[in-house]
Amino acid sequence: MFSYMRKILRINLSNKKVSCEPLKDEIIKKFIGGRGFGAWILWSELPPKVNALGSENKMVISAGPLAGTKAQGAHRLMVQFKSPLTGTYFRSVCGGFFAAEMKSAGYDALIIEGRGEKPTYIYIHDESLEFRDASEISGMTTDATREFLYDETDRKARMLIIGPAGERLVKFAAIVTDNLRTASRGGGGAVMGSKNLKAIVIKGSKKPEIYDEKTFNDAVKEQVEKIKGSPGIESLRNFGTSMAVYPEYIGGCCPSYNYRQEELQNIEAFKPENIAGYIVKHYGCFGCMVRCGKIFKISKGPYAGFVGDMPEYETLWSFGVNLGNTNIESIIYANMLADLYGLDTISCGVAIGFAMELYEKGIIGKSETDGLHLRWGDPDIIPELVRRIALRIGIGNLLAEGVREAAKVIGRGAEKYAMHIKGLELPGHDPRRAKSRGLSLLTSPIGASHTIGGFVGEERGLPYKGKHIDPFTTGGKGEMTKETQCEHALIETGVWCLFVNMSAELYSKLLYAATGIEEFKDPKTLLICGERILNLERAFNVREGFNGSYDKMPERITKEPIPRSAPSKGQVFEEEVLLKDYYRACKWDERGIPTKEKLVELGLEDVAQKLNL
Amino acid sequence: MFSYMRKILRINLSNKKVSCEPLKDEIIKKFIGGRGFGAWILWSELPPKVNALGSENKMVISAGPLAGTKAQGAHRLMVQFKSPLTGTYFRSVCGGFFAAEMKSAGYDALIIEGRGEKPTYIYIHDESLEFRDASEISGMTTDATREFLYDETDRKARMLIIGPAGERLVKFAAIVTDNLRTASRGGGGAVMGSKNLKAIVIKGSKKPEIYDEKTFNDAVKEQVEKIKGSPGIESLRNFGTSMAVYPEYIGGCCPSYNYRQEELQNIEAFKPENIAGYIVKHYGCFGCMVRCGKIFKISKGPYAGFVGDMPEYETLWSFGVNLGNTNIESIIYANMLADLYGLDTISCGVAIGFAMELYEKGIIGKSETDGLHLRWGDPDIIPELVRRIALRIGIGNLLAEGVREAAKVIGRGAEKYAMHIKGLELPGHDPRRAKSRGLSLLTSPIGASHTIGGFVGEERGLPYKGKHIDPFTTGGKGEMTKETQCEHALIETGVWCLFVNMSAELYSKLLYAATGIEEFKDPKTLLICGERILNLERAFNVREGFNGSYDKMPERITKEPIPRSAPSKGQVFEEEVLLKDYYRACKWDERGIPTKEKLVELGLEDVAQKLNL
């Protein structure tokens, strides 16, 4: 039980009650931490069908068991809630320093409940907690909020902040940390906004204890060596994820024009050597040697002078390739605005692409776009739409609902161009290009998330369990997808960064050395925890009314073969066969519902019972 | 000699030589500090007719003798150079913390010479000085530059920074401090830019010594009581200068539409109670109880979420009333951009008004405005033009030269609408409304500066030397203007803030107690120092080729009676009679050149000699 703080802080904004609850052994052993805790708490405590933006929704904010230790990349933060964007269970994850600071303050997790009567922020300093008036900082951009909060709390405090988008309940509003890392997907910012919670500020003074220092330090050394030798690490250090756009485009994975995958002129703008020219500084999250965080500077064009967090691959895609926009400065600037307003850039870019395609097709006209001419690739219109979405101005107010809901309002066949799964907008990885990856997007408990199952690498030349994988075949992809999803669920109990390539074996070694818990000695037991979490998340969604019929690709992905010249040319996503194979691998029934047998096997008898299986 | 640090640091960017020179008794006694030092150094060291943007130009950065002490509001910073905007001697002044920190580091003044081969910043830490590579921060906005420099130096260091405008040699680029106070007028930012000097960072650990602590502390107490009782102080505390726009407009002083003074619809937007709604925080400069600095927050409209330094009266005028713009958020946002880019908002707003009037009159068309429709009062076009000016894009590149030069390039009678004196754009105080004030704008050694002679108050109901002054009469205004200019020159040796209403008597008391210098015991001696400085500045300009023919109002001010209904209705500025009266009061000849007699009387024989008088 070393390295756990053994405390969960329950914070109710409605009645301002705070209680510190012990973290039970049983929960630790079953769910380890991070994503496991949140999945368990949401399943156990959220009544079915609560309004995601109502005071009944809860937000679980948790660290992994190794957060704050010397382990590399074990310090990401897990934020879980019922999503106002998808209506499903949701988990959003971010880097930075908050998780380690939360451990320093003495907590493994926070549970946020209720709704503040007035705009509020929470200041936690070790054992003390204050509900403070946030009317002064209310409405402010994230960076301005941070500066005000530094003055009012502690310059070394760590924070989760929402911007104007979260306050306006934009359905894909992000939660932004003090150093601009974000828990961006699924509308966590809107959940905070709905709770009148502008920020959580935390400062601590404790250190997690280690059960067996020597073994732990040796395992960390092993980890460091492994990271040093892992492929792509130098590239991540030098360029972050931003260098991936060009090769991913060439490989036919990075989709252009709202997934139409037509040729994009001037794609050379995304070549790593060009992207690198914008980077002026490198930084890392707590306890991470990779330091993939980059700071940009714009030196030319209309946005010259601005400096901020360099967009990741996904944003260079969503505001760039996805919109036919090869003006890097416009992407960087739009991303900066999204950080200031607090917006998920994937959903935001996809919503803009959706609007551009509808405008092109004549489904919407200038009367619906506030007079804007929504041309593909217009570098000025993109930051402007980011602003309108964040502030819910004009067409932005509609797009702020996400593409699924916006398509419903528009009607006229708009749904065909709404690129989402379960309401979550697709990221920059074409499911047609890598079938296991696509299957993972399709079946993920939170909708089209690219970080909840198999990495692209496994279908792009890197071996998987020692074998080369053909990205285009369907055979064996069900099993592979299930396995990588379970691995990811385990990794996210960590809460490990995906860039340190943690394995179940090394995790087990580190975890046992840090905690002394016998059950963690066997990597197989850990992998069962991963599967347990994935099944519990699925059960949550089933209880909400989502069965396999919601495992549904946009029509374009299943029916339109990729037209452009790339290795993926001519591919579609074979939804039916892949899905059937996956359900079988999961031991779920043909409706995509976990079987009683599987749930019992995973020690989730009570879950099976609640689902009347 | 207590309270002086007795050191001037000479810094040459060309050869990277640094020398620390003793501050001579004679200079202290003749020029006291601040503005006096810089005027003396520029006169003594600058060869006539140097290129203001050449490496031969120098920049003198100085503190007053009481900077860093307990005296209230004695900590402003004086920055002097030959101006690239006017071609004259120039002094620009700003609040903040730099002057006090410079004293802490052990210096009364810095002299910046030469030109860095590459972008450079200077880091001074007590006796150490480093020339550091600024290529990383080069091109960045001022706020981003500050954050980078905090990381590279000391979080408590103080800074002078230029933004993209200064680097692009915009003729009215400002110098911006770490807390966004600016030495904005006259293009000091361009001078730094021309020297490849991105920033000066300073940190010190010393304290100025006081000759007679008890008497000094008593005098400070007296000052504090005086400030507490002074009229308008509560208003400055609560609203800063921003509350003055509405009453000044009603009084006929705050000119609309590029000084046309036509009625402005919706002027109520500037009422203090509306302006106050944007203020979320108050702050002060070093050692000042007034705390007139304000932070704004925008809660609605397209700029919602932004937070920054609240515009002062002058900016609410220049981007507001002056442009027919009553959208307060647009003004605040444009001001924020000007702070980030490093621009003087007065010159910038006047340049925009100039362009709007030319466009309205058909003197320039869309082919010259980058296709922009330059409508009076368009709230979106103003921030856009600020950006284009700062970055020298399209029409911004022309306006970046200032209205005098832009009018020359345009021709076609444009000069008629260029509101400047000696190349410096007029501030928001109509010379027709207060004749002494107007005369001071007209004759100031730096062009149309509103802070270098009589305060508006003296012609707006506040008594001057115990008497009520009629603002519209011309009689006696020559003497009054000369006197207030000399007083201001004295106050700016302080370098006192104008808002603490320092008198020669109290200054003398504080100065003697702080320094023990016998000559400072008599306020009359101090006032002679003020007159000495004013004459020396005039002499500098004469040597540059500027005689009284450059004391010239824009035609509109002397020929167009104020049309709108206000106390100033029907007024023009009687240039000839006022000017003659002023020269006589100054004992300057009819060409506006100081007489040998006057210079000798002021102990400036050598100056008379150099001017061949």
Query: Would you call B297 and A340 a contact, using CB atoms and an 8 Å cutoff?
Result: no
Chain A residue set in contact with B, beta carbons under 8 Å? 136, 139-141, 144, 147-148, 163-164, 280-281, 297-299, 302, 304-308, 340-341, 387, 390-391, 393
Beta carbons of B568 and B432 less than 8 angstroms apart:
yes
Of A140, A163, A305, the CB nearest to B140: A305
Residue B456 is predicted with a pLDDT of 60
Structure confidence at residue B436 as a pLDDT band (50, 70, 90): very high
Q: Determine the distance in angstroms separating the CA of A306 from the nearest CA of chain B, rounded to an integer.
A: 6
Map tokens 């931003």 to a residue: A242
Query: Would you call A306 and B136 a contact, using CB atoms and an 8 Å cutoff?
Result: no
Q: Give A-chain residues touching B390 at CB under 8 angstroms.
A: 305
Scanning every residue of chain B, which has its alpha carbon at the shortest distance from the alpha carbon of A297? B140
Does A255 score more than 90 pLDDT?
Answer: yes
Q: What residues contact B1, with CB distance under 8 A and at least 6 apart?
A: B25, B28, B515, B516, B517
Residue A464 is predicted with a pLDDT of 85
Question: How far is Cα B344 from Cα B446, in angstroms, rounded to an integer?
Answer: 15
Residue B464 is predicted with a pLDDT of 85
- Count other C-beta atoms under 10 Å from residue A156's C-beta: 10
Of B141, B305, B393, the CB nearest to A306: B141
DSSP of B5-63, one letter per residue? Answer: --EEEEEETTT--EEEEEPPHHHHHHH-SHHHHHHHHHHHHSPTT--TTSTT--EEEE-
* pLDDT tens digit sequence for A108-125: 999 999 999 999 999 999
What is the overall mean pLDDT for chain A?
96
Does B455 score more than 70 pLDDT?
Answer: no
Query: Would you call B140 and A297 a contact, using CB atoms and an 8 Å cutoff?
Result: yes
Whose CA is closest to B174, among B165, B159, B164, B184? B184
Q: Give A-chain residues touching B139 at CB under 8 angstroms.
A: 297-299, 304-305
What global pTM score does this model have?
0.95
Whose CA is closest to B367, among B358, B377, B379, B378? B358
Question: How far is Cα B311 from Cα B325, in angstroms, rounded to an integer?
Answer: 14
Q: Locate B111 and state its tokens.
A: 């002299």
Q: Give A-chain residues touching B280 at CB under 8 angstroms.
A: 136
Of B164, B304, B341, the CB nearest to A164: B304
Sheet holding A77-82, edge to edge: A18-22, A7-12, A109-113, A59-62, A77-82, A89-94
Beta carbons of A131 and A120 less than 8 angstroms apart:
yes
Nearest-5° Cα angle at B74, B69 to B79: 120
3-state helix, strand, coil in chain A (%, to 5): 45, 15, 45
Q: Which of B307, B389, B391 to mutate to test the interface with A (most CBs of A within 10 A)?
A: B307
Does B523 score more than 90 pLDDT?
Answer: yes
Structure confidence at residue A456 as a pLDDT band (50, 70, 90): low
Question: How far is Cα B569 from Cα B572, in angstroms, rounded to an integer?
Answer: 9
Beta carbons of A88 and A447 less than 8 angstroms apart:
yes
Structure confidence at residue A455 as a pLDDT band (50, 70, 90): low
* Domains A7-203 and A234-418 belong to one CATH topology: no
Q: Report CA A113 to chain centroid distance, whole Å.
A: 21
Q: Determine the distance in angstroms separating the CA of A161 from the nearest CA of chain B, rounded to an integer.
A: 13
Scanning every residue of chain A, which has its alpha carbon at the shortest distance from the alpha carbon of B152? A281
Q: Give A-chain residues touching B149 at CB under 8 angstroms.
A: none
Of B139, B280, B308, the CB nearest to A305: B139
Whose CA is closest to A535, among A488, A609, A610, A598? A598
What are the backbone angles phi and psi of residue A374, rounded to the nearest 5°? Answer: -85, 70
Q: Can you give the C-alpha Rg of chain B in angstroms?
A: 22
Q: Determine the distance in angstroms separating the CA of B150 from the nearest CA of chain A, rounded to an integer.
A: 13
Question: How far is Cα B355 from Cα B368, in angstroms, rounded to an integer?
Answer: 10
Q: Can you give the C-alpha Rg of chain A in angstroms?
A: 22
CATH fold for the domain made of B435-451+453-491+522-610: 1.10.599
Q: Which of B279, B282, B306, B310 to mutate to test the interface with A (most CBs of A within 10 A)?
A: B306
Q: What residues contact B200, with CB distance under 8 A and at least 6 apart?
A: B61, B110, B112, B121, B122, B124, B159, B160
* pLDDT tens digit sequence for B255-302: 999 999 999 999 999 999 999 999 999 999 999 999 999 999 999 999
Q: Determine the distance in angstroms separating the CA of A329 from the nearest CA of chain B, rounded to an integer.
A: 14
Question: How far is Cα A540 from Cα A43, in angstroms, rounded to an integer?
Answer: 6
Q: Which of A306, A372, A384 to mutate to test the interface with B (most CBs of B within 10 A)?
A: A306
Scanning every residue of chain A, which has its alpha carbon at the shortest distance from the alpha carbon of B305? A140
* pLDDT tens digit sequence for B538-581: 999 999 999 999 999 999 999 999 999 999 999 999 999 999 99
Handedness of CA B314, B85, B552, B444 (dihedral sign): positive
Scanning every residue of chain B, which has its alpha carbon at the shortest distance from the alpha carbon of A145? B307
Compute the average pLDDT of residues A82-95: 98
Beta carbons of B287 and B454 less than 8 angstroms apart:
no
Of B164, B280, B308, the CB nearest to A304: B164
The enclosing H or E element of A12 equals: strand A7-12
Q: How many residues does chain A have?
A: 613
Whose CA is closest to B419, among B368, B472, B349? B349
Whose CA is closest to B177, among B135, B142, B133, B130? B142
Does A309 score more than 90 pLDDT?
Answer: yes
Scanning every residue of chain A, which has its alpha carbon at the shortest distance from the alpha carbon of B140? A305
Q: What residues contact B151, with CB distance under 8 A and at least 6 apart?
A: none
- Tell me the domain boundaries of chain A: 7-203, 234-418, 435-451+453-491+522-610
* pLDDT tens digit sequence for A471-499: 999 999 999 999 999 999 999 999 999 99
DSSP of B354-407, one letter per residue? Answer: HHHHHHHTTSS-TTTTTT----TT-TTHHHHHHHHHHHT-THHHHHTT-HHHHH
Structure confidence at residue A463 as a pLDDT band (50, 70, 90): confident
CATH classification code of A7-203: 3.60.9.10
* pLDDT tens digit sequence for B359-411: 999 999 999 999 999 999 999 999 999 999 999 999 999 999 999 999 999 99
Rounded to two decimals, the ipTM of the complex is 0.93
Q: Locate B501 and state its tokens.
A: 């209403």
Number of inter-chain CB pairs under 8 A, A vs B = 66
What are the backbone angles phi and psi of residue A407, rounded to the nearest 5°? Answer: -65, -40
Q: Give A-chain residues touching B393 at CB under 8 angstroms.
A: 302
Q: Determine the distance in angstroms separating the CA of A139 from the nearest CA of chain B, rounded to an integer.
A: 5
Beta carbons of A93 and A488 less than 8 angstroms apart:
no
Of B139, B305, B391, the CB nearest to A141: B305
Chain B residue set in contact with A, beta carbons under 8 Å? 136, 139-141, 144, 147-148, 163-164, 280-281, 297-299, 302, 304-308, 340-341, 387, 390-391, 393
What is the overall mean pLDDT for chain B?
96
DSSP of B498-510, one letter per residue? Answer: GGG---HHHHHHH
Whose CA is closest to A25, among A75, A65, A69? A65
Q: Determine the distance in angstroms separating the CA of B271 from the nearest CA of chain A, rounded to an integer.
A: 22
β-strand A7-12 against A109-113: which pairing, if any? parallel
Q: Determine the distance in angstroms separating the CA of A297 from the nearest CA of chain B, rounded to an integer.
A: 7
* pLDDT tens digit sequence for B85-139: 999 999 999 999 999 999 999 999 999 999 999 999 999 999 999 999 999 999 9
CATH architecture of A234-418: Orthogonal Bundle (1.10)
Lowest mean pLDDT among A456-465, A531-540, B143-152, B167-176: A456-465
Sheet holding A293-297, edge to edge: A279-283, A293-297, A307-309
Of B136, B305, B390, the CB nearest to A163: B305
Question: How far is Cα A422 from Cα A431, in angstroms, rounded to an integer?
Answer: 15
Compute the average pLDDT of residues A63-74: 98
Q: Which of B280, B303, B332, B337 to mutate to test the interface with A (most CBs of A within 10 A)?
A: B280
Whose CA is closest to A99, among A74, A125, A131, A127? A74
Q: Report CA B599 to chain centroid distance, whole Å.
A: 26
Scanning every residue of chain B, which has its alpha carbon at the shortest distance from the alpha carbon of A385? B302
